[in-house]
């Protein structure tokens, strides 16, 4: 089982955003443990709900900061948020249909999904905000 650890490489230089990302990584690890421990489908679904809800909240948080500090890349970033949410909801649907079975591919997908979000769009946003805030 792969545990994702926070490291400075993941920092976007804005503490309140880093804090959200640490929380997302934490929930991802809970999911990983749930799969390794063969928890019930109901429990896995609950963890996925928590991950999605936390992501929705986190995206709203970022979008508020973009608005407050007049970030130029807002529309593009919001479009990425929508795509990321669509893809994780799609994944959740597949897992529910598979009675809570989470495959190695699903875990890899989620890992890439988190990394893509943090390391691309958020790095640009972070470097803007750390100067503007």
Task: Pick the stretch among 1-9, 71-79, 91-99, 121-129 that binds Fe ion (CB under 5 A).
Answer: 121-129
Helices (H), 98-121: 104-116
- CB neighbours of 133 closer than 8 A, spacing ≥ 6? 14, 65, 69
Report the residue number whose CB is nearest to Fe ion. Answer: 122
Spatial distance between the Cα atoms of 34 and 61, rounded to a whole number of angstroms: 28
Task: Pick the stretch among 32-40, 84-92, 97-105, 118-126 that binds Fe ion (CB under 5 A).
Answer: 118-126
Q: According to CB under 5 A, which residues from 67 to 106 bind Fe ion?
A: none
| Smallest gap from residue 81 Cβ to Fe ion (A) | 8
**Residue 18 interacts with Fe ion (CB under 5 A): yes or no:** no
Binders of Fe ion: how many residues, by CB under 5 A?
Answer: 1
Nearest to 43 by CA among 30, 26, 54: 30
**Residue 122 interacts with Fe ion (CB under 5 A): yes or no:** yes
Task: Pick the stretch among 1-9, 84-92, 104-112, 120-128 that binds Fe ion (CB under 5 A).
Answer: 120-128
Spatial distance between the Cα atoms of 92 and 59, rounded to a whole number of angstroms: 18
Spatial distance between the Cα atoms of 79 and 130, rounded to a whole number of angstroms: 22
Residues in contact with Fe ion by the rule CB under 5 A: 122
């Amino acid at each position: 089982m792969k545990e994702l650890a926070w490291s400075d490489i993941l920092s976007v230089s804005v503490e309140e955003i880093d804090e959200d990302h640490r929380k997302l990584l934490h929930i991802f690890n809970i999911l990983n443990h749930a799969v390794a421990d063969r928890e019930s489908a109901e429990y896995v679904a609950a963890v996925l709900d928590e991950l999605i809800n936390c992501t929705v909240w986190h995206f709203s948080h970022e979008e508020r900061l973009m608005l407050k500090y007049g970030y130029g890349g807002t529309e593009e970033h919001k479009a990425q948020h929508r795509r990321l949410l669509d893809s994780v909801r799609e994944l959740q649907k597949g897992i529910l249909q598979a009675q809570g079975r989470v495959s190695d591919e699903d875990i890899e997908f989620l890992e890439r999904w988190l990394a893509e979000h943090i390391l691309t769009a958020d790095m640009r946003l972070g470097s803007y905000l750390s100067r503007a805030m």
